[in-house]
Amino acid sequence: METAEIRRRWLSFFESKGHAVVPSASLVSQDPTLLFTVAGMVPFIPYLTGQQTPPWDRATSVQKCVRTLDIEEVGKTTRHGTFFQMNGNFSFGDYFKEGAISYAWEFVTGSQDEGCLGFDPESIWVTVLKGDDEARELWGRVAGLPPERIQERGLEDNYWHTGVPGPGGPCSEIYVDRGPEYGPDGGPVVDEDRFLEIWNLVFMQEELSEVRSKTDFDVVGELPSKNIDTGMGLERVAYLLQGVDNLYEIDEVYPVIERAEELSGRAYGADHDDDVRFRVVADHVRSGLMLMGDGVVPGNEGRGYVLRRLLRRAVRSMRLLGVEEPSLPHLLPVSKDVMKASYPELAEQWDRIAEVAYAEEQAFRRTLASGTSILDDAVAQAKSSGATRLGGAEAFALHDTYGFPIDLTLEMASEQGLSVDEDGFRTLMTEQRERAKADARAKKSGRGGAGVYRGLADRLGVATEFTGYEQMAGEDRVLGLFSGGHEVERARLDGGALESGSEIELVLGSTPFYAEAGGQLADHGTIRLGGGGIVEVTDVQRPVPGLVVHRGRLVEGEVAVGEGAQSEIDVVRRASVSRAHTATHIVHKVLRETLGDSATQAGSENAPGRLRFDFRATRGLGPDELAAVEARINERLMADLQVSAAEMSFAEAREMGAMALFGERYPDVVRVVSVGGPWSLELCGGTHVLNSAQLSLVKIMGESSIGSGVRRVEALVGADAYSQLARENVIVNQLTDALKVRPDELSERVAQLMTRLKDAEKEIAQAKASQVLSAASGLVERAQDVSGTTFLGHDLGDGAGADDLRRLVTDLRTRLGDERPTVVALTGVAAGRPAVVVATNEAARTRGTKAGALVKVAAQALGGGGGGKDDLAQGGGQDAAATGAALQAVEGALRA
Ligand code: ATP
Ligand code: MG
């Protein structure tokens, strides 16, 4: 029975019992304490806890759920998905225990012809809370369950509450016995794999006054109005009704595994580790799809991080399956196609989802490429020094320099048998964060902290006047002097008042120097003092409002408060920074033209010759879009747009449509910078060029995500942009020389070469494969009869890896025909490691001969392990000299 059909049956069954059908809520939970919707009851919490009056007495839903806690279980158990759907029926003060139990019993065991699920009543087991005699009695009376199939469990498993004072109550779980081949007798208390939990009924009947832990709480009394909340795992029921072994093989998930098989050339069911990877891929691709469908985008925190982790784990599992090429473009559409019947919004949102997902895979591939080799080196080094764990410093360097997430480091290290010093890693992370904060503080306020400057600012009473919009030089007096974090009267080189080197800070009455603000870096320049002293200025800050502090080195003579000062800024630097700042306004405007007005500024830096612009956006720009943005920017430069600035009231500025910057507080009088009249209007205190043509050229160097919802464009401006293009031109020339083609033929030529290389690789692989297969015809003759089974055991020797063995084993099985029970076992050795593959035909399996069991015997002889399905299984080990013994072991097992 298809999953979608079970879903339909669920809803119409409960609708026919008077339940309102409520559509699934978003995976992004409305409850701020939850990252995701983790159960069907989540959207009903206000009704169940009595905070709100429900519009109905009974309701039913099929709710999308994500449980991140189950991520490690995926692929290893048969029953845990990170995404799954929970069927629920709810009663708000209407029916209670008896109603819930009889509906559940009817739906589970009622006949399929009547719209129910048709499970054999003999296969059903239930658990109740120890002491809940009412539930026990009902299961006997309503369902006719014998006492031995009603098991008891303690508070730990079968009591529900929210963790805070409020409603609580016992649970009762329903299990299906999958049969003795899946585990020992004894019901769910003995084995949860054979006895599969499909449904949990919660009876909310008590009021709790205090909750100390899961099992320790105080009950005040009975709830005046009792509720029912139930949850049935849709995928779990589907896997039972579809006759498969786990929830990754159901109709809504398995097609992704099949596609992954094609991509990897490996068979699902042949190798245990590979199987787990296949399941992780299928599960995570689907969960990622559903999360993106509900608007989650990959990021470094919260929901975005969970999504990122899912997508990255899927991509990495594909790599472990041997697929180096991007795989999401092949897998995600398959998942979309099977899920869209139940969730049509996936098809509508598809373009956006695909764009986000594929970009994330690209970004991850870059991270992996740089980080993996560094990690391998670190692991090799740790191992050769006999260590069993990777140092915190290495993990930190990987994170800091290569953006390698810590959980990936943990996972990859553990695959190589190493642990990671996580505490060390976290300590370094904290230190770095503290350092960054301290740096930012120190830069703004200098070594003495803001206090010393505030003293001077209060005494002066007026703000430093900035003359630098018009003038590049100026004359005024020294009003204050700081050295080594203290205010001083004078400072002199050579043993004067200077205590620490020749660092000095100067405050003037007015200055042409621009103090770093609004992303624009400070001016540099020179201040000459009346008494012959010279200060080279390398930084200018405003540590407290109104006070501009020039920082630099006293390179000659002395400086004293009260003397005259002639300032001159570095005009080349200023012009270059101003070009970058005007370019930033143009970039901002063009991005808004492209992405809409939601692309607001989130930060920027205007440095000589280059700019960095951060903006909020839910998606990135594709390569074509980015090229179009760059073209539009340069077209605006050539349009020779006037750049001008005017002061006005904040209200007037807003009226004109000026863009105010993120989170900044503006004074009553603001400065509005316009580029091209009304085309770009921004509130801005920075310095700019006079017209856009002065920028000459803007070259975008890249666009990327720098965190949840924030993206960054980096660009070169003017001469720097030109040099970059010139450098790229040199590279093109080198390539055209080497490949002997014209520049416009380059990409075609490279594509040709790549194709030829791929073809050659394919040919080599085919040659190798046909070598292996040509050996096959001769081998058939060597088959012999072992206790009524045709047995062919052969060692292919050195150079034959597991892939070769698999290819040959199925070929041989076909050649040997299907009249007689037949078993083929092949061994080989690749890179010093022995492998064994066993295949059985239908007739052999009918006799109870299973490849999975035989391969275990063989792998044991090799000093390793293996497993797989009844028809095909694979194993490996350590002892390359034991392949003969492994084949003998298989033969022995057949004889026995
Ligand atoms: P388990 O012990 O198997 O993890 P659970 O006790 O966490 O299950 P509940 O919280 O009671 O499960 O959820 C109700 C139903 O939802 C379960 O009976 C099961 O059918 C289904 N379910 C729970 N977790 C998952 C999952 N990760 N994947 C698929 N179905 C699930
Ligand atoms: Mg669970």
What confidence category does residue 323 fall into, taking pLDDT thresholds of 50, 70 and 90? very high
**pLDDT tens for each residue of 18-35:** 999 999 999 988 776 778
Q: How far apart are CA 283 and CA 690, in angstroms?
A: 57
- Minimal-distance CA residue to ligand 1 atom 4: 80
What confidence category does residue 495 fall into, taking pLDDT thresholds of 50, 70 and 90? low
CA 862 to centroid of ligand 1, rounded, Å: 39
Place of tokens 């490690």: 72
What pLDDT score does 499 carry? 44
The tokens describing 317, both together, are: 């599992």
| 749 burial level (CB within 10 Å; 0-12, 13-18, 19+) | middle
pTM of the prediction? 0.54
CA 70 to centroid of ligand 2, rounded, Å: 7
CA 739 to centroid of ligand 2, rounded, Å: 59
Residues 128-157: what's their mean pLDDT? Answer: 95
User: How many C-alpha atoms does 427 have within 13 Å on its Cβ side?
Assistant: 8
Mutate to test the pocket of ligand 1, among 80, 126, 287 (most ligand atoms within 8 A of CB): 80
> For ligand 1, is residue 80 a contact (CB within 6 Å)?
yes
- In the chain, what's the furthest Cα-to-Cα distance? 112
The answer to whether the beta carbons of residues 836 and 805 sit under 8 Å apart is: yes
For residue 81, give the ligand 1 atom closest to its CA. 28
Q: Which ligand is nearest to the CA of 229?
A: 1
- Percentage of the chain lying above the pLDDT 90 cut: 61
Q: Which ligand is nearest to the CA of 174?
A: 1
pLDDT above 90: residue 230: yes
* Residue/partner pairs of 160-166 with CB below 8 Å, 24 or more apart: 160/202, 160/204, 160/229, 161/208, 161/211, 161/217, 162/45, 162/49, 163/211, 164/211, 165/208, 165/209, 165/210, 165/211, 166/49, 166/207, 166/208
pLDDT above 70: residue 603: yes
Q: How far apart are CA 387 and CA 380, in angstroms?
A: 10
What confidence category does residue 177 fall into, taking pLDDT thresholds of 50, 70 and 90? very high
The tokens describing 816, both together, are: 């040997």
Q: How far apart are CA 311 and CA 424, in angstroms?
A: 27
The answer to whether the beta carbons of residues 833 and 878 sit under 8 Å apart is: yes
Q: What's the distance, CA 198 to chain centroid?
A: 30
Q: How far apart are CA 340 and CA 347, in angstroms?
A: 6
The answer to whether the beta carbons of residues 516 and 540 sit under 8 Å apart is: yes
Q: How far apart are CA 592 and CA 587, in angstroms?
A: 9
What pLDDT score does 663 carry? 46
Q: What's the distance, CA 617 to chain centroid?
A: 17
> For ligand 1, is residue 70 a contact (CB within 6 Å)?
yes
Closest CA to 616 of 715, 713, 716: 713
Closest CA to 788 of 872, 844, 831: 844
Burial string for 826-835 (b: 16+ CB within 10 Å, else e) reads bbbbbeebbb
pLDDT above 80: residue 494: no
User: How many C-alpha atoms does 885 have within 13 Å on its Cβ side?
Assistant: 11
Place of tokens 């449509």: 657
> For ligand 1, is residue 198 a contact (CB within 6 Å)?
yes
Amino acid (one-letter) located at 368: L
Q: Which ligand is nearest to the CA of 84?
A: 1
**pLDDT tens for each residue of 57-109:** 999 999 999 998 888 889 888 899 999 999 999 999 999 999 999 999 999 99
Residues 854-875: what's their mean pLDDT? Answer: 91
What pLDDT score does 502 carry? 67
What pLDDT score does 669 carry? 86
What pLDDT score does 430 carry? 82
> For ligand 1, is residue 79 a contact (CB within 6 Å)?
yes
> For ligand 1, is residue 313 a contact (CB within 6 Å)?
no
- Please give the residue that has the higher pLDDT: either 545 or 294: 294
- Percentage of the chain lying above the pLDDT 70 cut: 95
What confidence category does residue 851 fall into, taking pLDDT thresholds of 50, 70 and 90? very high
Q: Which ligand is nearest to the CA of 253?
A: 1
Q: How far apart are CA 783 and CA 198, in angstroms?
A: 48
> For ligand 1, is residue 236 a contact (CB within 6 Å)?
yes
| Cα–Cα separations (whole angstroms), residue 137 to 159, 171, 207, 665, 774 | 18, 14, 23, 68, 69
What pLDDT score does 121 carry? 96
Phi then psi for residue 354, to 5 deg, are -60, -40
What confidence category does residue 648 fall into, taking pLDDT thresholds of 50, 70 and 90? very high
CA 284 to centroid of ligand 2, rounded, Å: 17
Q: How far apart are CA 22 and CA 604, in angstroms?
A: 46
Q: Other CB atoms closer than 10 Å to residue 794's CB: what's the count?
A: 22
Percentages helix, strand, coil for the chain (3-state, rounded to 5) are 45, 25, 30
| Cα–Cα separations (whole angstroms), residue 705 to 190, 359, 613 | 49, 10, 12
- Please give the residue that has the higher pLDDT: either 518 or 663: 518
Closest CA to 457 of 564, 549, 527: 549
The answer to whether the beta carbons of residues 140 and 150 sit under 8 Å apart is: yes
pLDDT above 90: residue 514: yes
Q: Which ligand is nearest to the CA of 72?
A: 1
| 550 burial level (CB within 10 Å; 0-12, 13-18, 19+) | buried
> For ligand 1, is residue 86 a contact (CB within 6 Å)?
yes
**pLDDT tens for each residue of 413-464:** 888 888 899 888 888 888 877 776 666 666 655 555 677 888 888 889 889 9
CA 125 to centroid of ligand 1, rounded, Å: 16
What pLDDT score does 442 carry? 64
Average pLDDT score over the chain: 90
The tokens describing 282, both together, are: 């299928």
**pLDDT tens for each residue of 376-412:** 888 888 888 888 888 888 888 888 777 677 877 888 8
The answer to whether the beta carbons of residues 282 and 253 sit under 8 Å apart is: yes
Mutate to test the pocket of ligand 1, among 6, 196, 197 (most ligand atoms within 8 A of CB): 197
E strands in 428-524: 465-466, 473-483, 486-487, 490-492, 503-508, 510-511
pLDDT above 50: residue 662: no
DSSP-derived pairing of the beta strands 124-129 and 150-153: parallel
Q: In sequence order, which ranges of 37-79 are alpha helices (DSSP H)?
A: 45-48
> For ligand 1, is residue 574 a contact (CB within 6 Å)?
no
The answer to whether the beta carbons of residues 62 and 87 sit under 8 Å apart is: yes
- Minimal-distance CA residue to ligand 1 atom 20: 233
**pLDDT tens for each residue of 606-640:** 999 999 999 988 788 888 999 999 999 999 999 99
Task: With residue 62 as reference, give the H or E element that holds it.
Answer: strand 58-66
For residue 171, give the ligand 1 atom closest to its CA. 11
The answer to whether the beta carbons of residues 800 and 856 sit under 8 Å apart is: no
The answer to whether the beta carbons of residues 279 and 246 sit under 8 Å apart is: yes
**pLDDT tens for each residue of 684-710:** 999 999 999 999 999 999 898 876 678
E strands in 83-181: 83-92, 124-129, 150-153, 159-161, 166-177
> For ligand 1, is residue 177 a contact (CB within 6 Å)?
no
Phi then psi for residue 217, to 5 deg, are -155, 165
pLDDT above 60: residue 525: yes
CA 484 to centroid of ligand 2, rounded, Å: 61
> For ligand 1, is residue 153 a contact (CB within 6 Å)?
no
What pLDDT score does 446 carry? 59
What pLDDT score does 500 carry? 42
What pLDDT score does 407 carry? 76
∠869-872-873 over CA atoms, to 5°? 75
DSSP state of 180: G
Closest CA to 176 of 108, 224, 104, 75: 108
Q: Which residues contact 455 (CB under 8 A, 6 or more apart)?
A: 487
Closest CA to 227 of 366, 23, 90, 34: 90
> For ligand 1, is residue 229 a contact (CB within 6 Å)?
no
Amino acid (one-letter) located at 533: G
* Residue/partner pairs of 78-81 with CB below 8 Å, 24 or more apart: 78/193, 78/196, 78/239, 78/245, 78/246, 78/247, 79/193, 79/196, 79/197, 79/233, 79/236, 79/239, 79/246, 79/247, 80/247, 81/235, 81/247, 81/248, 81/253, 81/283, 81/286, 81/287
Q: How far apart are CA 60 and CA 58, in angstroms?
A: 7
CA 36 to centroid of ligand 2, rounded, Å: 15
SS3 of 846, please? Answer: helix
The answer to whether the beta carbons of residues 204 and 219 sit under 8 Å apart is: no
For helices 883-895 and 851-861, the axis angle rounded to 10 degrees is 140
Q: What's the distance, CA 193 to chain centroid?
A: 30
Residues 533-544: what's their mean pLDDT? Answer: 92
- Minimal-distance CA residue to ligand 1 atom 26: 80
Task: With residue 814 as reference, give the H or E element that holds it.
Answer: helix 802-815
CA 233 to centroid of ligand 1, rounded, Å: 6
pLDDT above 80: residue 761: yes
- Minimal-distance CA residue to ligand 1 atom 25: 80
**pLDDT tens for each residue of 786-803:** 999 999 999 988 877 888
Q: Which residues contact 237 (CB under 8 A, 6 or more apart)?
A: 6, 117, 198
Q: How far apart are CA 578 and CA 584, in angstroms?
A: 10
For residue 247, give the ligand 1 atom closest to its CA. 29
**pLDDT tens for each residue of 719-754:** 889 988 988 899 999 999 999 999 889 989 999 999
User: How many C-alpha atoms does 57 have within 13 Å on its Cβ side?
Assistant: 8
